[in-house]
Amino acid sequence: MLHKTRGIVLHHFKYSNSSIIAHVYTEKFGRQSYIFSGIRNKRAKGKINYLQPLYLLELEVYYKQKSNIQRISEFRPAYNFHTIPYSIIKQTELLFLAEILYRCLKEEEANADLFEFIFSSIQYFDTLENGEADFHLLFLMQLTKYLGFFPSKNYNENNKYFDLKEGIYFNRPSGNNERLDERTSRLIYLLSNTNFKELGQFKITAKERMQVLETIINYFQHHIIAVKSIKSLDVLKAVFEE
C-alpha cells in the first residue's frame, strides 16, 4: 500500500553503483531509511540533488512495519529553495544541523509538532536575509523544546549561572565545567527568549558566536548520548572564519 508523506533528508550514502540509501525524517512514520534505486544513473536527471542535507520532499512510499529499509515509489521537492543553494553559509549550516538531527532523531513514529517545526524552520531560513549567521544557534535552542530539555526561564538578578546538566540557572558559580560563567549564561538566556523573526536583533560577536555554539553542543551532549563529536563542526567554523 502506498502512502503519501512529507519528508526531511537527514543523510544519505552510496548503496550500489546506481542506488543510495537515505535516512529521512517523515511526517507520518518518523525516521525511516529508504532505498533510492537507480538514482545515480544518468537517466535520473539530477534527482540525487534533491537528497542534500535537510532538503524537503514530497514522498510516495511503501511502509512495512519493522522493516529496516523501506521502498519508495516517487519523490519530488516539497519546497524549491531560492537562496540556500547559492549561499555557502546557509549550506554549511544545514549540513551541520542535519548531522545534529541525524544523531538526535531516532524514533520511528510520527511526531507532528517536531516535524512541522523542522520543516517550517528550514523554509523560513531560505527566506532569511538578516541574522542568517545565527540561525543554527536559535534552531538548536528551539529544538530542545521538542526534545525535552529547553532551558528553564528562572534567570534573574540572583540566578545568573546556567547549569548544563540541570538546565536551570543558579545563584552562584560552581567548581566544575557544567555551570557557565555569567556572560555566557546571559547569552544562552537571551537566545532562548528570541524567536526567528527577532533573529536579526540578536547581536553577538564572531567570538561569542563560536562560544555559544560550543556551549549548545555541550548542552546537547549532556542530554543526548548520541551527540558526541560532530564532524561538520570544523567545516562550519572554517566558513565563519573566512
Q: Can you spell out the DSSP letters for 54-75? A: T-EEEEEEE--TT-SSEEEEEE
Binned at pLDDT 50, 70 and 90, residue 41 comes out as: confident
Binned at pLDDT 50, 70 and 90, residue 210 comes out as: very high
Burial class (CB in 10 A: 0-12, 13-18, 19+), 52: middle
Q: Is the pLDDT of residue 45 over 80?
A: no
In whole angstroms, what is the distance from residue 139 CA to residue 128 CA?
A: 13
Binned at pLDDT 50, 70 and 90, residue 183 comes out as: very high
1-80 is a CATH 2.40.50.140 domain: yes
* Largest pairwise CA distance in the chain: 64
Q: Domains of the chain: which residue ranges? A: 1-80, 85-242
Radius of gyration of the chain (CA): 19
Q: What is the pLDDT of residue 193?
A: 94
Binned at pLDDT 50, 70 and 90, residue 242 comes out as: low
Contact between 30 and 108 under an 8 Å Cβ cutoff? The reply is yes
**Prediction pTM value:** 0.94
Binned at pLDDT 50, 70 and 90, residue 132 comes out as: very high
Q: Which amino acid is at 173?
A: P
Q: Which CATH architecture has domain 85-242?
A: Up-down Bundle (1.20)
Q: Is the pLDDT of residue 241 over 90?
A: no
Q: Is the pLDDT of residue 182 over 80?
A: yes
Q: Write out the three cell numbers for 118.
A: 523542522
Q: Same CATH topology for 1-80 and 85-242?
A: no
In whole angstroms, what is the distance from residue 96 CA to residue 91 CA?
A: 9
- What CA–CA distances, in Å, run from 143 to 43, 105, 148? 38, 11, 9
In whole angstroms, what is the distance from residue 98 CA to residue 103 CA?
A: 9
- Determine the average pLDDT of the residues in 169-181: 89
Binned at pLDDT 50, 70 and 90, residue 228 comes out as: confident
